[in-house]
Amino acid sequence: MIELERLLRSQGFGSRADCRALVRGGRVSIAGQACDDPFARFDEEGLRISVDGAEWVFRRFAYLALNKPAGYECSRRPVHHPSVYSLIPDPLRTRGVQAVGRLDEDATGLLLLTDDGQFIHRYTSPKKAVPKVYDVTTRHVVDRGQVAALLDGVQLHDDPQPVVALDCVPLGERCVRLTVTQGRYHLVKRMLAAAGNRVEALHRVSIGGFSLPPALPVGHWMWLGEAEIALLAGSCQRAMSPPDVLRSSRAPASAGRLVDESEP
């Protein structure tokens, strides 16, 4: 059981004073009943909260998937473009939801966000080797040599170890579906450059076993429920399954390094 004022604060509705004012102002309903007592106590699990008529369900942690558009930075203090955080509601920003790894400003597709620190660690730790799949549109035709180079491992200037793609499937003359298990600064762009090509467009299709739902419009987000989180979690085991271990053992692992895709 938790006091309403604290409960609202935990869900990102502002400071305790802000939340108290919301309740006292008659702007909050709980399970369909108006409540103007900030100290009324409720069992928070699964509780339906309505603030100014907008429905929220209590969530201990928030897990979201965003279909990131091009032209947005994954930073709270963007420099040249709007922030992806402008695409999510205020309470989620206030409660400290942050991107799980980053996508470049010009990259599109699946971006996870959460306020659960352990979850962020789990999906960004190099040791977990969670596969991330990108559709990569290239400037030049992707030839067999380039595919082989990506699978065998390409040399990046800041790393003595070759970086290996877990998978690389041609989708067209200038398009490949690339699976990587690391998250490092401009990783895919640098891998394609090292293979002798150049990335023109980059779209993240999936992280682990969870794919961007086709019905989620660009610029929109959705809650991740137990089913989606189970898919993601399954991916961690899958990343460690024998076939993948065999494939990725083709080159020395360069684990234990950077976590963030676009962070210098």
Cβ atoms 259, 124 nearer than 8 A: yes
Range 167-196, binding ligand URA (CB under 6 A) = 186-189
Number of residues near ligand URA (by CB under 6 A): 10
Binding mask 106-125 for ligand URA (x = CB under 6 A): -x------------------
- Is residue 5 a contact residue for ligand URA (CB under 6 A)? no
Query: From CA 107, how far away is CA 33, in angstroms rounded?
Result: 44
Measured from the CB of residue 262, what is the shortest distance to ligand URA in angstroms?
A: 5
Q: Find where tokens 């298990």 sit.
A: 181
Which residues does residue 86 pair with via DSSP β-bridges, in sequence order? none
Active-site entry in 104, 135, 143, 158: 104
Binding mask 61-100 for ligand URA (x = CB under 6 A): ----------------------------------------
Distance, CA of 25 to chain centre:
36
Which residues does residue 136 pair with via DSSP β-bridges, in sequence order? 176, 202
Cβ atoms 208, 125 nearer than 8 A: no
Binding mask 127-166 for ligand URA (x = CB under 6 A): ----------------------------------------
Cβ atoms 94, 88 nearer than 8 A: no
Query: From CA 221, how far away is CA 36, in angstroms rounded?
Result: 31
Q: Is 104 an active-site residue?
A: yes
**Active site residues per annotation:** 104
Binding site for ligand URA (CB under 6 A): 103-104, 107, 186-189, 202, 261-262
